[in-house]
Amino acid sequence: MIDLTLGRRDFIRLGILGGVFSLAGCSFTKPRPTLSLPRGILPIEALQALTKPWSFEFLDVHPGINLYQSQLQKKVDLIAIGDGWLKDCPFESFQAIGEKELYENLNGQAINFLNSFGSDFSEKLYPVLVSPWVLIFRGGESFLPKARESWEVLLDSRLRKKVILPTSPRLVMALAKRMRHNDSLRLLRSQARSYDDKNGLNWLLSGKAKVAVLPLQSCLNAIRQDPRLSIALPRDGCPLNWTLLLRPNFSVELFPSSWIKQTWELPLLVKLLVRGVIPPVLDSELIKAIDLLPDDYKLIYKSESLWERSWSLPPLTLLEEKSLEQQWLDSSP
């Protein structure tokens, strides 16, 4: 007869071996693919729609951080950024997106934006959402007719030191170029109360400013919450604020194409438009969703200036960058 009982020492040995194999099994567990992004550049509705097994995590963005280095070291599979971060992008660290069908559905503004980077870089970028920079007023009824025509409303003498401009000098200069005054940049800067688009709504709500230049995604909901606020898109067109996806070289995960396609369709498309962001798909895809929006939102999205006259900020050469820096210094009020 065979004795199947275990002694105390044998039991301990088996326990140790079981623990080792358990740890070994954990080490081979495949981590979930991760989308990494700064807070606020993608609406929560879009993130919640991420298809399994994808997950997302927010970046700890603070002055001095090297966004790309920190995320590449963590080996995330996808990074979402605003176009303002592209200046220092190490494109050699990213691979082509490689999803032909997704690119074929982009509208003309998105294609023009990508083409400004050249084929070596553009194939590594995918513009998932866009939001126009707009004018938002507090109690600005008397300014709205002019605001709907031109950015020159910002030079109105009644708005002196009551304007909140974007933090980006380049964007401020782009707005000044749309104005007909010879000295428009210096005049515009002399109107500024602050360069602080991040806190632009707070400036307005506190009564310390009359108008702010903000991305639509950061202020659209505010007009429904506070009747004193109103938004204008000048007929001259608006600069566009792009959210882009980049795929690191080391990622072997399939690009989440099904997630992107959800943003083109109901019901997610309506939820995104309500948040002030637009999937840059062909106009025919957007019309149905825009018709489902509240009337005050329809007026914004059906504005002819939204696509026909809007513009993106292309990458700069080193020489162009130096020239703009000098223009900024020379325009100090």
Q: Any idea where the domains of the chain sit in the sequence?
A: 34-130+240-301, 133-239
Residue 28 scores a pLDDT above 50: no
Provide the pLDDT confidence category of residue 22 given band limits of 50, 70 and 90.
very low
Task: Output the pLDDT for position 30.
Answer: 58
C-alpha 143/C-alpha 145 separation (Å) is: 6
For residue 333, the number of C-alpha atoms closer than 13 Å in the C-beta half-sphere is 12
CATH class of 133-239: alpha beta
The tens digit of pLDDT for each residue in 149-177 reads: 999 999 999 999 999 999 999 999 999 99
Residue with structure tokens 């105390």?
8
The pTM assigned to this predicted structure is 0.88
Query: Is the fold of 34-130+240-301 the same as that of 133-239?
Result: yes
Domain spanning 34-130+240-301: CATH 3.40.190.10: yes
Q: How many CB atoms lie within 10 A of CB 14?
A: 11
